[in-house]
Structure 1
């Protein structure tokens, strides 16, 4: 049901029956490497193009999630997917392989939580009993589409970020249908507004997306009458160091005291202090793999009970950049909670 101005509260608390996070070799060497279901040792995954490799990542994540949930593809009513590739070819081609009724969505790097929020809405409303959502990105396919192919070897400024090679998927079901071990529920979501502060540098995505993240999180606090103190963890999608610092400044200016142990960013968690990624991680798979791998494992271990994942996305295209447009951004947030059945 509608909560406040831009949020949903899910009365049935749909369960995340299973999730999967699949990554490339570089991500597997990072600080979260042990939290992923599978780490590929070949960034091409044996395919003859980066785009086909990205599709394989999403297929692997979806298949792994279904296996962990003990469901067949015939049991899944809808698959919600999106990605960064032109016309969602990663998701739509993966949906071709899966042969599940497909809803293509786009929120750039916020797609992970957009998909999870919509999947929870379908289950909560009774429109479906088993829904799968997922997204993927690949460093080399994103570089080729949005910047320069990696073979070009172009240098980047320190504000640039590293697109995560990986894919994440989750399966949602009504709480009474989920297994007794599935104690993580989706209890709410806040749908973001498009925010554009005039940033036009494609190598400064964090600066472009930070205002959208702050707008959605403060909107969430207003709608649910909550604050940072009500969460064990609030994590933004992929602001990186530049965007994370800016978001902290914006929160302070809005009158919020931000506890260091509560607010983190997936783009920083993914690679830690690795200088090769410059400002940090990004891409659709950034928040997806960190959430469906690292964060859910921490929740299952009892370390976290209530988490807000606020995935951010820069809504530019190669065409809009060439036409000197600024970068509109968005953030979608989802509340995850551990229940005691």
Structure 2
């Protein structure tokens, strides 16, 4: 009997699922942004001592996982499962990383929604009593994403103003059935939404309807109070997508403007860093949550937040075939009480 369900798409966890630690690693550009003080490690070189950007990304997520577990009283061998993924074909970055960690692994692909997806599934497996200790995370890299989804950097392709900058970063959380820290309370799993946007350089517009659908569904399902949240953070809609999302959700009868932000807007200085519409990529919401938001939760500056990582489910093949961009968003509500 599904007695943990609320409404159509939301579940309410009944047991403690505690985020006992996080870790975040970012690239040089992210390290010069407004959230720099919250990251555990800032790379001086986006190759991270490796021969390729893909291997550098793999090293980032592996190091983030090791750093996150090192902050606890546990060892990597105590971890029951790892939930993680990335943007690259066959989850190359994550698969190569976890082969060295030798823990049971669920590889995930939700595009840039992967941080909330990994948190959702890891939380449900702990709440269900199947595990006492799980890692959940994700990563992205500007150069590896550009090479796969757009054009080789050597071409010097000019990016339109609607484009975003894929975050070079990796974030990891450690979830436990016991311990101290903020707790995952509710999860709203998103549907795939496609409003016909075909421009891969305007993913904020493509993803905004998915974010709105998930946020609206959460409040429809739970009847929760918007004012009880300190922050509702979408993953990587960027400035344009964030504006679209605010307009769309107001039309649905919900005004979240007082508590709403977007990780893609927060992570870069829009005026000084020339990232056009802001940040994107799996690592965007991952490092913003594992760095900035988690720090605020631990210090009780935030007591209740909603992370809504957003993903554009396009591929190089679908773009070349002139298909529209399906999108998805998953919401995770985390509280100190």
**Under a length normalisation based on structure 1, what TM-score does the superposition of the two structures give?**
0.96
Taking the aligned partners of 2:92 and 2:41, their CA distance within structure 1 comes to 23
**1:321 maps to which residue?**
319
The match for 1:61 among 61, 64, 78 is 64
**1:267 maps to which residue?**
264
| Partners of 1:193 and 1:216 within 8 A in 2 | yes
Moved over 6 A (4+): none
Matched, 1:87 2:90: yes
The match for 1:242 among 232, 237, 240 is 240
Helix, strand or coil: the match of 1:81?
A: strand
**2:195 maps to which residue?**
197
| 1:170 to partner: Cα distance | 0.5
Computed over aligned residues only, the root mean square deviation of the Cα atoms, in angstroms, reads 0.9
Taking the aligned partners of 2:320 and 2:257, their CA distance within structure 1 comes to 40
Helix, strand or coil: the match of 1:69?
A: coil
| Partners of 1:228 and 1:259 within 8 A in 2 | no
TM-superposition CA deviations, 1:128-147 (whole Å, max 9, x none): 11010110000000000000
Taking the aligned partners of 2:28 and 2:76, their CA distance within structure 1 comes to 28
**Under a length normalisation based on structure 2, what TM-score does the superposition of the two structures give?**
0.97
Taking the aligned partners of 2:217 and 2:42, their CA distance within structure 1 comes to 36
The match for 2:7 among 4, 14, 22 is 4
Taking the aligned partners of 2:208 and 2:137, their CA distance within structure 1 comes to 23
TM-superposition CA deviations, 1:53-78 (whole Å, max 9, x none): 00011011000001002221110010
Taking the aligned partners of 1:258 and 1:124, their CA distance within structure 2 comes to 29
Matched, 1:219 2:207: no
Tell which deviates more after alignment, 148-157 or 203-212. Answer: 148-157
Q: How many residues align?
A: 333
Unpaired runs of 5+ in structure 2?
none
| 1:275 to partner: Cα distance | 4.7
Alignment of 1:144-159 (within 5 A): 144-159=147-162
Helix, strand or coil: the match of 1:304?
A: coil
